[in-house]
Structure 1
Amino acid sequence: MTVRYPSNAKNTFSRLSEDVSEWQHGNLCGHFFSRHRSPLLEHLLKYPDTPFSVADACILKTDIKTALALTSFDGKQFVVKRYNVAHIFHRIRLAFQSSRAKNNFAFAKLLGEIGVPSIQPVAWVQERIYGLRARSWFIYEHIDEEMSAYPLTDQSDVNVIDHALYQMTQNLVAMRNHRLSHGDMKPPNLLHTRDRVVLIDLDAMRQHKSQRQCDRALAKDISRWMRWWRSDNPQPMISQKSEKILKNAGFEVPDS
């Protein structure tokens, strides 16, 4: 496996950390954080689909677009998220888009630097076939005791609800201050533990050139969030609490 280190500011990841290393092996390439360097990680980067194919594979999720598997090495647990290629036309579209695995890797690191809890990135891998992007993999640290936010209902503990909504709003405020938008802000894309709410699924996250562009994108994020509680999974109390706390933070909330 060939490892190269980012050497200038033009490199996508040099702005993130000097700890980021670039690597290539056959038709695979990507980046990883050097603090995770080990023979076991290097083997996983060379064969990123192994966690999905071993006899005792622990598959967390699988559908036509993505699959998630749990793996362990160096005394820790990690999640490998694979982005599938549905068909040839999908592969052609990928040639003109940024890798979703790469997007997750970069923005997960950036969110942590601005104080927004997110998954801890380890590496990302891009496969190329005949020069075109194919599958990609994003590797991150497993979050212990994780729980998706979407099981919240109006019957949940009010303190748990208030904590989740407060943390979610603080995340949005920090994102607004750094001109970031999520792109799919719905409860299943939040995990909350005892003391924090973690933002996941950063496939569509963007950093905007202007505050005006960011505000428009965040308005769509908030609209998506409210639609979940108003129609996708109606919870009148959570909807009202969301509307109030978002307005108090200076966000526009669409009418129901």
Structure 2
Amino acid sequence: MLINIESLKTSGREPPVPVEIASSAGQLYVERWLRIVPGRRLVGSGMLDGQKVLVKVFVSSRARKHWQRELDGLISLQQVQIASPGIIASGALDHGGYFICTAFLDDAATLQQRWDSLTEVYPGEPTAIALLGQALESIGQLHAQGLAQTDLHMGNFLLQGERLYVIDGDAIDTVSPGQPLTSEQAEDNLAIFFAQLDAQWDQLVELLLIDYLKVNPLAINPDRLASQVRKVRTERLSDWLSKALRDCTQFMVRRNWWRFSVVVRQQADDLHDLIEQPDAAFKAVPTLKDGGSSSVTRVSTNQHELVIKRYNIKGMGHWLTRFWRPSRAWHSWLAAQRLRFLNIATPAPLAMIESRFGPLRRRAWLICEYCPGQNLLELFGNDGHAEPSEEQGEALLALLRQLAGARISHGDFKATNLLWHAGQVWLIDLDGMQAHGSHAAWQKAWCVDRARLLRNWPASSPLALWLDVNLP
């Protein structure tokens, strides 16, 4: 099917496929779309003159600018002999828009895909270190040639066999042509890469930099680099929380006068019926909790075991205190997204719904994956007759170190809100969770959390004594 650019521009997230596109280099045949930014850019695999290619199609009102930036970036990589997919064809499309075709690398995978396929990625794991080393060596080559990858993540490196390719020419910035980046410029760029890793990797940054320094021996200031990493992490978290409330690649948002809903886009089909009628789940099965300010139930879909929490309005007086501010479901959704982003164990948040009358909030629902873990009160018993095992104790302390590092307090830190599952302690019931702007504010809130956890067991019990000694 021959398609014009206007049709591609207005096709949203599901453009037709396969299609043919008329270009200055001949007919482009697109077999499948790999990535779509609606109304702006489409990336697909296909054929041009019998050769398999990766094609990028630019369709926005600023298509020429983005096309030129992509082309310039790829040319810059080729000029300094940094491995990148070769340019096959480039130019204007009939009836508007621009395109670039590069060589399609068979049997290649991004470093992110390789990373995700690892069974373990704990700090120091040899295979994980090897992958990071390959990326850092490539980054060093870029910096040595005066180039910087401004969207520096493992998804922008493509591994075919043993050879690593840099992709995404649009993000290649020529900072200092023919001259290596300065130490500060390199630190700022490296911070973008290291900020993508879990904070537990921070202790190994200097070790990881060995591969970088082999090809670009700069004087890197580890303290400044660490400061920049923290800054970038804060910016990335803020950006993620913003995305979690708007329609984008990761999330599907629907809003009208009567309701607001957001769902993880990949789960939208599986959760469709549940999002349309969230109360149906409370009628079909026995609830885990019923009444008061919230009700909780468990339900199965084709793909998931889920927990649904409904935030009730108990009456007019209660509604008057709630209608003008984001619901507790809204707050819990963002709290769970924050924890997941920080790699702190909590059941995956999949959807959130608010019933509304214009700007006024009413009832709300939060849908999360079900965690089959045992809560700590069940695990250790009401009497706290024994200390936790070494694995359990270390997992609990690891969770607390993560919360302290992120300056997060739970707000209702009782034993039933902590689950032991798969070697980790998971947090649930995030209605009262807060991220604090200062250490002093977090410390005050942590004292409350700490005391609440200790109250679960008799003060003289072995478990309570162990907690009192070991909790921060």
Output the TM-score relative to the length of structure 2. 0.46
RMSD: 2.7
Question: What secondary structure, in the 3-state scheme, does the structure 1 residue paired with 2:456 have?
Answer: helix
Is 1:141 equivalent to 2:369 in the alignment? Answer: yes
Measure how far apart 1:47 and its partner are.
1.1
Measure how far apart 1:186 and its partner are.
0.8
With 24-33 and 176-185 compared, the bigger mean Cα shift is at 24-33
Is 1:31 equivalent to 2:281 in the alignment? Answer: no
Contact 2:264 2:350 in 1 (8 A): yes
Contact 1:101 1:138 in 2 (8 A): yes
Match of 2:449 among 212, 216, 221: 221
Paired letter, 2:376: A
In structure 1, the partner of 2:377 is 150
Superposed CA deviations along residues 136-159 of structure 1, whole A, max 9, x for unmatched, are 100011123x21111223566655
Task: Output the CA distance in 2 between the equivalents of 1:49 and 1:10.
Answer: 32
Instruction: State the identity as a percent.
Output: 24
Q: 1:24 to 1:244 in 2, by over 3 A?
A: same
Question: What secondary structure, in the 3-state scheme, does the structure 2 residue paired with 1:137 have?
Answer: strand
Task: Output the CA distance in 2 between the equivalents of 1:229 and 1:159.
Answer: 13
Superposed CA deviations along residues 78-110 of structure 1, whole A, max 9, x for unmatched, are 111111111111111113443211222222122
Write out aligned runs for 1:1-256 (5 A).
12-14=241-243, 18-24=249-255, 27-38=258-269, 40-54=270-284, 57-129=285-357, 131-144=359-372, 146-151=373-378, 152-153=380-381, 154=383, 158-160=387-389, 162-230=390-458, 236-246=461-471, 251=472
Task: Output the CA distance in 2 between the equivalents of 1:45 and 1:172.
Answer: 34
Question: What secondary structure, in the 3-state scheme, does the structure 2 residue paired with 1:191 have?
Answer: strand
In structure 2, the partner of 1:254 is none
Task: Output the CA distance in 2 between the equivalents of 1:25 and 1:85.
Answer: 21
Contact 2:288 2:295 in 1 (8 A): yes
Question: What secondary structure, in the 3-state scheme, does the structure 2 residue paired with 1:173 have?
Answer: helix
Q: Which has the larger radius of gyration?
A: 2
Paired letter, 1:115: N
Measure how far apart 1:166 and its partner are.
3.1
Superposed CA deviations along residues 53-74 of structure 1, whole A, max 9, x for unmatched, are 23xx142221212111122222
Contact 1:185 1:222 in 2 (8 A): yes
With 65-74 and 16-25 compared, the bigger mean Cα shift is at 16-25
Measure how far apart 1:245 and its partner are.
1.1
RCO comparison, higher one (Cα < 8 Å, 6+) = 1
Contact 2:274 2:280 in 1 (8 A): yes
Question: What secondary structure, in the 3-state scheme, does the structure 2 residue paired with 1:63 have?
Answer: coil
Question: What secondary structure, in the 3-state scheme, does the structure 2 residue paired with 1:150 have?
Answer: helix
Question: What secondary structure, in the 3-state scheme, does the structure 1 residue paired with 2:330 have?
Answer: helix
With 115-124 and 96-105 compared, the bigger mean Cα shift is at 96-105
Superposed CA deviations along residues 117-142 of structure 1, whole A, max 9, x for unmatched, are 11111001111246432111000111
Task: Output the CA distance in 2 between the equivalents of 1:241 and 1:116.
Answer: 23
Question: What secondary structure, in the 3-state scheme, does the structure 1 residue paired with 2:300 have?
Answer: strand
Question: What secondary structure, in the 3-state scheme, does the structure 2 residue paired with 1:42 have?
Answer: helix
Measure how far apart 1:244 and its partner are.
1.1
Contact 1:48 1:137 in 2 (8 A): yes
Contact 1:108 1:120 in 2 (8 A): yes
In structure 1, the partner of 2:40 is none
Question: What secondary structure, in the 3-state scheme, does the structure 2 residue paired with 1:30 have?
Answer: strand
Contact 1:94 1:133 in 2 (8 A): yes
Output the TM-score relative to the length of structure 1. 0.81
Contact 1:13 1:20 in 2 (8 A): no
Q: Which segments of 5 or more consecutive residues in structure 2 lack a partner in the other structure?
A: 1-11, 13-36, 38-237
Task: Output the CA distance in 2 between the equivalents of 1:42 and 1:24.
Answer: 15
In structure 1, the partner of 2:192 is none
Contact 1:91 1:132 in 2 (8 A): no
The number of aligned residues is 234
Superposed CA deviations along residues 163-183 of structure 1, whole A, max 9, x for unmatched, are 444322221221111121111
